[in-house]
Structures are given as structure tokens and as C-alpha cells.
Structure 1
Amino acid sequence: MTTFAIAPEVLRDTISAALGDKVASIKVALGEVTVTVKADAYLEAMEALRDAPGCKFEQLIDICGMDYSAWRDTEWDGPRYCAVSHLLSVSLNQRVRVKVFCPDDDFPVIPSVMHIWNSANWFEREAFDLYGIVFDGHVDLRRILTDYGFIGHPFRKDFPLSGHVEMRYDEELRRVVYQPVTIEPREVTPRIIREENYGGLQ
């Protein structure tokens, strides 16, 4: 028997009823439901999304970090760091996006959801590595994409485009060495050349 997805407005209302006062905001845009949950109710909300009738989000598809410090080139009024999860219910054929903001910009911490979905392991490590978001309760929160000695978190909007250090092979020492970046940052604007009447345009 084929199960068809319900209308996003119906899913929004179902999730809102299941989470109650754990919801900070919930909306439908472009046919997708996005729910922002309160940081102090994050774990309870995620467990409810997995277990509640009408939700049954058995799978965690992704977790990523976000840095809102320069959101849409305007001044952002709110916490800087956010973790965004995408959940899938195979049994009910529905999806939801869940956002939670870290309460402290200087030390962004939220609970790990590894005990709810074990697929969170590497996703949370990636968000930690790239954004510096600490997932409290994670069993092995190490960097996963950058080098062991890497300094900083490269997806933060205040991280320099050229980075802080570079590595090269030293012929005399016969090994790889690290040194301060010697590349001067520059902005490159691509030059676009089109033939006359390209694509039928005048």
C-alpha cells in the first residue's frame, strides 16, 4: 500500500500539537515545514518528533551548522549559531527541518542527539569542526574534515578566506612544516565575454 505525504500545513499543525511549548516558531515555506525549537527543550522535542503519532521521524538525514552573524548583509538580532537538522519519516512519507539556536555566542553548546539517531555522530562532528558548535554528550567529538592541528573553525563568517597557517614540504628538514600564511588575500571578479547576439539576445 502506498502512503502519500500530507499537506505541509497539516504536518505543521501535527508537529505543533506534538511539541507544544517546546516550539519557538513553526512555518511553511516553499512547501516545507521548518520548526525552531527552544534550546532548553531540544532533546525532548527531538524525541517527540521521533516517537509521537503523526510524526514518526525515524531517520536523521543531516545536521549542519549555521552562522547568522552576517545574515543577508543585515544586522542580525538573535543568537549567532544554529544547528539545523533534517528528519525523514519513511513510514509516513514526510520531512521536517528542525532548527535550534545556541544560547551562548561565545561558547555555542547544545545537546547531542546521538542517542536518538546514531547517524548524528559524523554530522555533529562536522558542525563542531566547521562552526565550533559543541554537542554536549557526544561520545567522540573530534575534528573530522580539517587537520589535527587546525586552528579555528573555517565556516565561521569571521574566519579569513586564506586561513591562518599553511603547510609545505621542507626539502632540508625532509618533512611537512606549518608556517603563517604568506598568501595575500585578493578579490577576483570573473570577466564575462559574450559573442554578439549570444543566445539570441540583442
Structure 2
Amino acid sequence: MTTKLETLQLALKNALGEGAEVNQALGEVTVVVKAAGYIQAMQTLRDDPTLRFEEMIDLCGVDYSQYGEGTWDGARFAVVVHLLSLEHNWRVRVRVFCPDDDMPLVESITPIWRAANWFEREAFDLFGILFDGHGDLRRILTDYGFIGHPFRKDFPITGYVEMRYDPEQKRVIYQPVTIEPRENIPRVIREETYGTK
């Protein structure tokens, strides 16, 4: 007797063919597709009657640059999409790696699931992943003048610039980050005269 996950795996392999790698781990099924076949695979996942993943639940970017404590040798950026089939009551995770680390780019799935709009904008804003064919790819969480992409592993924790209101100029100004170094020692292990000498 086959389990529901085995049935899903078989249906995915039949529908997607050799263009996708289907894995099962920890009670979840993951499909890894190549960037060149990403849109076709997503269209198949939605329209194939044996699959019918009609709902896109989530889409996010991932930076693998320090994955496995630096042992990762694959592409740096990936887009991960979670899909739900209401008809068959099953879920799948789809991962596509961006072929170019310097300019991470995959096709937009907004023509297939309109709900991907803001998710793709978030992945662009935070990771710098570009979505070809997206109608309005602009920042969604950071300020329009923000420099860089804060979820990249090489982005400095302090950022590059800070924004503050200047009462003399009566406007918001941007300036390089200035953080005074300080010693962070928990109070429970600090001596009573700490900082007074």
C-alpha cells in the first residue's frame, strides 16, 4: 500500500519528467527545478489534473553562501515556493537556483499565481533576486533610498547608512553609520563597580 506522499512523488515525477528532481524528507516533498524550466514546471504543477496546485502559499529567497559552514559549492541564491492543492489536500516545496550569483534572476510566476507579486518584491528587496516579467519590481520593506539587500549573508549587520531627522535642517538626512563600540557583559557576571573606573 502506498502512502499519500509516495502517491504525490509519483504524480510529480510523471508530470514533470526528467526536468525535476523530486525528494522526500521529514514528511515533506521538495521539487528542485532548473531555472530554464521553472515557468513550465510551475504551469504544470498548477494545471496538471493529477496535481492541481492551485494555491501558492509562500515564496521566499535564500542565500546559500555560508550554508553548511562554508562547504556549499552550488549556486548562491535560490527561490523557494510552497504550493497547496486544495483538491488533493497535499503540499509541495519547489526550489529553483539562480544560475548567476552576480545577477540572480529567475522568471516571475505572477502570470500563474497573482499572489506571488508581493512575495517576489520582498525577495528582490531583501536578497536582490530579480524576477523577469514582474510588472512592478520595486522595494517593499526597506526605504526607496536603501542601499543593498539586508538578508544577504555578506550584508553588514550595522548597514551602510543611517537615516535620522535633523532638527536644524528640518528634514530627514542620510549619513554613514556611526556606532560607538561598547562592551556587552551581562549584569549577572559583571562586577559592581563596572564602568565607574
TM-score between the two structures when normalised by the length of structure 2: 0.90
**Cα distance in 1, alignment partners of residues 148 and 37 from structure 2:** 29
Secondary structure of the corresponding residue to residue 68 of structure 2: helix
More divergent stretch after superposition (138-147 vs 167-176): 167-176
2:161 maps to which residue?
Answer: 165
Q: C-alpha deviations, 1:130-164, integer Å up to 9, x for none?
A: 00000000000000000010000000000000100
C-alpha deviations, 1:9-49, integer Å up to 9, x for none?
Answer: 221111011001220x2211111000100110000000000
CA–CA separation in structure 2 for the residues paired with 1:8 and 1:187: 52
Determine the C-alpha separation between the residues in 2 that align with 1:36 and 1:86. Answer: 12
Question: Structure 1 residues 164 and 96 mapped into 2: Cα distance closer, same or farther (>3 Å)?
Answer: same
1:11 equivalent in structure 2: 8
- 3-state SS of 1:71 partner: coil
Cα distance in 2 for residues equivalent to 1:118 and 1:146: 22
Specify the alignment match of 1:88 in structure 2: 84
1:166 is aligned with what amino acid?
E
Q: Distance in 2 between matches of 1:86 and 1:189?
A: 42
Aligned residues: 187
TM-score scaled to structure 1, two decimals?
0.88
Distance 1:113 1:184, change over 3 A: farther
CA separation in 2, counterparts of 1:185 and 1:104?
A: 37
Give the Cα–Cα distance (whole angstroms) in 1 for the partners of residues 152 and 115 of structure 2. Answer: 24
| 1:126 counterpart letter in structure 2 | E
> How far apart, CA to CA, are the structure 2 residues paired with 1:74 and 1:121?
32
1:152 is matched with which residue: 148, 169, 189? 148
Query: Offset of 1:53 from its aligned partner?
Result: 2.1
| Structure 2: tracts of 5 or more residues without a match | 190-197
How far apart are the structure 1 equivalents of 2:168 and 2:187? Answer: 41
